[in-house]
A and B are shown apart, each in its own frame.
Chain A
Amino acid sequence: MTGIEFKARLRLGDFTLDAAFTGEGRVTALFGPSGSGKSTILRMIAGLLKPDEGRIVLAGRVVFDSALGVDLAPRLRRVGLVFQDGLLFPHMSVRQNLLYGSWARRAKRSAAFDATVGILDLGGLLDRAPRHLSGGERQRVAIGRALLSEPAVLLMDEPVAAIDQERRAEILPYLETLTREYPIPLLYVSHALDEVDRLAQQIVLLREGQVVSNE
């Protein structure tokens, strides 16, 4: 299994991101203070932000290469994105959120649905509206939604940062189970060392748009 190969340059006003790393293990953490470019990298991998130049390979597939003129649309990158505050579709139920990926790609309802609902403990929430969920529940749904789109890689942007400390302890075990059960490379953005320590095999340290260390 090849993971994530990333190399890109991008100027955004005063900020320049110029970073390269390879995520070999199952869980790679992007770690660094806010403003160091972690989220920018995630958005570039997902195709929501275009680098000035660079090359991005996900699970052996080139999704962006400025030299070759490759720039796949986000929907073709097979990236499962989990944002900081979940970003569930507010006008859909939990079930509709979870099934959005297979619906959008007109795929059959994934056989993984029941298993994913089980692992993330979403059974009792399926008919609720996102606004009636707690922060932790919302994140679990967001993770389930990303997983059920059958992604080649999972990208999580500070998935527990918006949740208070106590609840955070409730969701981290789910993440651990998930990394065991799903053989998908996970890129995990965080600025909390305890999470990173607990989950990741590899830590890419960022500062001011540059990779400081990668181990």
Chain B
Amino acid sequence: MNPSDISPEEWQAIWLTLKVAIVAVLGSLPVAVAVAWLLSYRNFPGKIFVEALISLPLVLPPVVTGYALLILLGRQGYIGHFLDKDLGIVLAFRWTGAAVAAAVMGFPFMVRGIRLSFDAIERDLEGAASSLGAPGWLVFLSVTLPLAVPGLLSGAVLAFGRSLGEFGATITFVSSIPGETRTISSTIYALLQTPDGDAAVLRLCAISVVLSLASLILSELLIRSGRRRLAR
């Protein structure tokens, strides 16, 4: 395959896909850290329900998640209505909406990775830090978070990989508008509907495989180097 074969529309889809995935991951990371911390360090009524809710996008048909996003965040949606009227933020049929869909679909992976890291931290290590005079926020920043970095990175990379492949929720929520919301997946889908799309489909499939493999390998490498660095 020659890179010069890739058409401008395909490049556009590739860059858009990367942009959506990066924004999705960076935007949801702080939320995922907070949620993972709550699940790992606190017990509260209804915890099991929260855990199930976070994992729901893993098992729900993506089209249902996309439709739920449309009902909630569409211009006429329960939340989207206020976002549009009061803050001037529109997500439906915009690339930002695609990022939201990707973030929701990747969220379970991210929370799981970070939470496993939090769970593995010896609580007495944090006890030692507070005993040495560190306030809670400093214990979190200087001990908890650095020790969770491997899980954080691997969770983020997995979520990134998941975002690259997002299709169902995205096309339901933000459709497939060239240049705005037409990612690699929806480009492939669109090309499959046209008679001469085969070569382009193959190219984009190959690119998908490469990007996904790269993110999986990167995730594994991060976990390994983290393990080595933190081994006691």
Q: A residues within 8 Å of B by Cβ? A: 43, 46-48, 73-75, 77, 79-81, 83, 87-91, 100-101, 104-105, 130-131, 145-146, 149
Residues from chain B with Cβ under 8 Å of A145 in the complex: 132
**B60 to nearest A CB, angstroms?**
38
Contact A75–B134 (Cβ < 8 Å):
yes
28 A-B residue pairings within 8 Å (CB atoms): A46-B127, A47-B131, A73-B130, A74-B127, A75-B134, A75-B135, A79-B131, A81-B127, A83-B128, A87-B124, A87-B128, A89-B128, A89-B129, A90-B147, A90-B231, A90-B232, A91-B146, A91-B229, A91-B230, A100-B129, A100-B134, A100-B142, A101-B133, A104-B132, A104-B133, A104-B142, A146-B132, A149-B132
A140 vs chain B, min Cβ distance (A): 15
Is B125 at the interface (CB under 8 A from chain A)? yes
- In addition to A89-B128, A100-B132, 14 A-B residue pairs with Cβ atoms within 8 Å of each other are A46-B127, A47-B131, A48-B131, A75-B130, A81-B127, A87-B122, A87-B124, A89-B142, A90-B230, A91-B229, A104-B133, A105-B134, A145-B132, A149-B132
Residue of A nearest to B229 (CB): A91
Residues in B whose Cβ lies below 8 Å from that of A89: 125, 128-129, 142-143
Where chain B touches its partner, the secondary structure class is helix
Contact A75–B125 (Cβ < 8 Å): no
Q: How far is the CA of A88 from the CA of B124 in the complex (A)?
A: 10
**B192 touches A (CB below 8 Å):** no
In the bound complex, CA of A145 to CA of B231 (Å):
20
Closest to B130 in A: A74
Given the complex of chains A and B, what is the CA–CA distance between A79 and B127 in angstroms?
11
Which residues of B approach A to under 8 Å, CB–CB? Answer: 122, 124-125, 127-135, 138, 142-143, 146-147, 229-232
CB distance from A202 to the nearest CB of B (A): 23
Nearest first, the 7 closest Cβ-Cβ pairs linking A and B are A104-B134, A105-B133, A101-B132, A74-B130, A48-B127, A104-B133, A149-B132
B190 vs chain A, min Cβ distance (A): 47
